[in-house]
Amino acid sequence: MLRAERAPDPLERMLAVCRVVLCLATDLVRPGRGFGDTPTVVLGQHYLSRRQLGERHRGDTMQLFLQELASHEPLGPTQHPKYTAPASSAPPGTALPAPVAATLSLRVRPTVAARQQPTGLLAQLGGGSKVGKSGGGGGGGADGAPPAWLECSFEGHAVVTLLRHAEEYRITLPSLVLTAPLAEACPLDFSGAAVILCEGTGLAATLRFAPFKGGRVTGSVATLLGGGHKEVASIGGSWLGTVTADSEEGSGVLWDAAAQSLPPATVNLAQPGPRAFTRLWTAILEAAVYVDATTAAKEGKRAAELAAALPAHMRHCLLYAVESSGLKSKQQQEAEQEAEIAAAAAAGAGVGPAVAAALPPCVLADHAKHGTLTYQIHYRVQPC
């Protein structure tokens, strides 16, 4: 974001925001650093942090204010002045805080669906593939696709604000693709398009992610001219390698996976382990446990089989288990667990026993009332 704020040219700022999107996407597939980054079952979490950055910006030492939320019930970031108060609201006689350089706000709710390759007549005609529909025209197709996979879409958007330039960039994210959900090492990919719109500059960017194509990314930046547009830069490459941008002014690297030390993008849904986007993964895993079997059945037999197997496979994915005292017989323990699961299923508005076994009754009840976890992250960068 600071690179975008420094850029003197609107096109440079848009390309820098494209890089922010690539960083967000790849952080989603990045493992965490330690056990504390492991997703776990929650009713809700609110994390606040204030950190000093090593990078200097316009000669100033910068600090980052961070808020991260995950909740079933719609909530907003705290309004505590330590984290959010603008300069104009400072009490009389106190030092005014330094001007904010840039902000980023992301609010999304994940939805997971089982997909499969088209079969029968649809396959012969080359139609019906959900990859082809969500691949954003990036050449996704069904070639190289597994028999069935999961696709996690993100309802919501992100906003990057550069206050000095009076510019706001509204961003939608691509879908996350889990290509082998029942495997111990499930490869992760992306599908669809990330779209970035900025009315202040009159520019729009599109990054199209083609799944099952080695991380292929294509896209462009265009000027918005009434009902049409004029392309001013083209984007291409792979998020697993490098992504470059080319314009009349020259070319440059937007993203370099090696420079960012991006490890293999995999996850074990049964035991996810630490994840960089811990709380977002908590929401994704909960949504996957609730994968819609009815929609999967309409997709096809393979998708339906995957949806049916998934909740049991993910029974302990959020580190939840029905506890027992350990002083009773195995038969008594099993009977207690079955009763606990039945009660949880009742609290969860008719969910199946496999779903009820993966989540505690309080979470099932909250999900029934409000839906899947909503994830938010809010950054504010300003001088110390």
Quick: pLDDT tens for 322-378: 555 555 666 666 666 666 655 655 555 557 777 877 888 888 889 989 999 999 999
Amino acid, single-letter form, for residue 149: W
The angle formed by the CA atoms of residues 361, 362 and 366, to the nearest 5 degrees, is 115
Spatial distance between the Cα atoms of 356 and 311, rounded to a whole number of angstroms:
9
Spatial distance between the Cα atoms of 161 and 151, rounded to a whole number of angstroms:
29
Mean pLDDT, to the nearest integer, of 249-265? 93
Spatial distance between the Cα atoms of 309 and 302, rounded to a whole number of angstroms:
11
Question: Between these two residues, 98 and 206, which has the higher pLDDT value?
Answer: 206
Phi, psi of 246, deg, nearest 5: -125, 135
Q: What is the pLDDT of residue 83?
A: 61
Residues 6+ apart with CB under 8 A from 330: none
Residues in the chain: 384
Structure tokens of 378? 């809010």
Structure confidence at residue 195 as a pLDDT band (50, 70, 90):
very high
Q: What is the pLDDT of residue 82?
A: 63
Q: What is the DSSP letter of 91?
A: P
- The mean pLDDT of the chain is 84
Question: Between these two residues, 360 and 40, which has the higher pLDDT value?
Answer: 40
Q: How far is CA 363 from the centre of its chain?
A: 21
Distances (CA, A) of 175 to 24, 43, 44, 330: 12, 25, 23, 43
Q: What is the pLDDT of residue 299?
A: 93
Spatial distance between the Cα atoms of 158 and 21, rounded to a whole number of angstroms:
9
Buried b (16+ CB within 10 A) or exposed e, 17-33: bbbbbbebbbebbbebe
Q: What is the DSSP letter of 73?
A: S
Q: What is the pLDDT of residue 74?
A: 85
DSSP-based helix, strand, coil % in the chain, nearest 5: 30, 35, 35
Asked whether the predicted pLDDT for residue 158 surpasses 90, the reply is yes
Structure confidence at residue 210 as a pLDDT band (50, 70, 90):
very high
Question: Between these two residues, 270 and 118, which has the higher pLDDT value?
Answer: 270
pLDDT in tens, 278-306: 999 999 999 999 999 999 999 999 999 99
Spatial distance between the Cα atoms of 195 and 183, rounded to a whole number of angstroms:
31
Helices 301-313 and 278-289, interaxial angle, to 10°?
120
Structure confidence at residue 78 as a pLDDT band (50, 70, 90):
confident
Q: Domains in the chain, start-ordered, CATH in brackets? A: 2-86+97-282+372-383 (2.40.160.120)
Q: What is the pLDDT of residue 98?
A: 60
Q: What is the pLDDT of residue 96?
A: 45
Structure confidence at residue 275 as a pLDDT band (50, 70, 90):
very high
Of 283, 335, 355, 344, which Cα lies nearest the Cα of 41?
283
Q: What is the pLDDT of residue 330?
A: 63
Spatial distance between the Cα atoms of 12 and 371, rounded to a whole number of angstroms:
39
Q: pTM for the whole thing?
A: 0.86
